């Protein structure tokens, strides 16, 4: 009887380990996909830009440049600062640390140096907001932009 119980217990442990391994492999696949999922800048059509140079991106997202070359106001849209996509944006597109960018914004907002960026809760909401605001710029994943039925042009 005790041998039978021992066998059942062993089988259950093997089953649990198997499930855990499958879950882990799924996780690694998901994270690999996330790492591969590049981000792109999105613009309101009035901006007339296709992309930003790294220097331009940093100047705009650190509020050092608050107007486009034609004099129109830049409206910056970002995700919440603790979102993984925003943190990835800081590193990938601005080559800055998220806390560094947050520090700059706080100094700007609380000393009257410029507008705060508009914070939205999701990438979908960000794309919609950028589309609806003349002079707006933001970012979103390539995959999402490609999948959007309304074919928002990420360029």
The residues binding another protein (CB under 8 A) are 55, 58-59, 64-67, 69, 71-73, 80-82, 95-100, 103, 106-107, 109-116
Alpha carbon distance 94, 58 (integer Å): 6
State the number of CA atoms in the 13 A half-sphere of 46 facing the CB.
15
Residue 11 Cβ vs another protein, minimum distance, rounded to whole Å: 39
Q: Which of 15, 99 has the CB closer to another protein?
A: 99
Q: Which is nearer to another protein, 12 or 64 (CB)?
A: 64
Nearer to another protein by C-beta: 42 or 90? Answer: 90
Contact 64, 57 (CB under 8 A): no
Residue 43, SS3 per DSSP: strand
Q: How far is the CB of 38 from another protein (least distance, A)?
A: 21
> Buried (b) or exposed (e) across 94-108, using 16+ Cβ within 10 A?
bebebeebeebbeeb
Q: How far is the CB of 3 from another protein (least distance, A)?
A: 48
Q: Residue 109 or 152: which CB sits closer to another protein?
A: 109
């Amino acid at each position: 009887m005790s041998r039978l119980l021992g066998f059942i217990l062993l089988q259950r442990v093997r089953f649990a380990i198997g499930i855990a391994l499958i879950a882990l492999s799924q996780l690694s696949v998901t994270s690999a996909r996330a790492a591969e999922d590049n981000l792109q800048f999105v613009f309101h059509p009035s901006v007339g830009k296709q992309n930003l140079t790294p220097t331009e991106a940093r100047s705009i997202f650190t509020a050092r440049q608050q107007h486009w070359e034609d004099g129109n106001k830049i409206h910056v849209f970002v995700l919440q600062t603790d979102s993984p996509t925003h943190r990835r944006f800081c590193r990938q597109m601005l080559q800055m640390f998220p806390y560094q960018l947050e520090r700059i914004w706080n100094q700007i907002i609380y000393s009257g140096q410029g507008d705060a960026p508009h914070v939205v809760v999701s990438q979908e909401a960000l794309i919609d907001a950028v589309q609806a605001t003349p002079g707006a710029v933001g970012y979103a994943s390539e995959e999402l932009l490609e999948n959007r039925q309304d074919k928002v042009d990420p360029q």
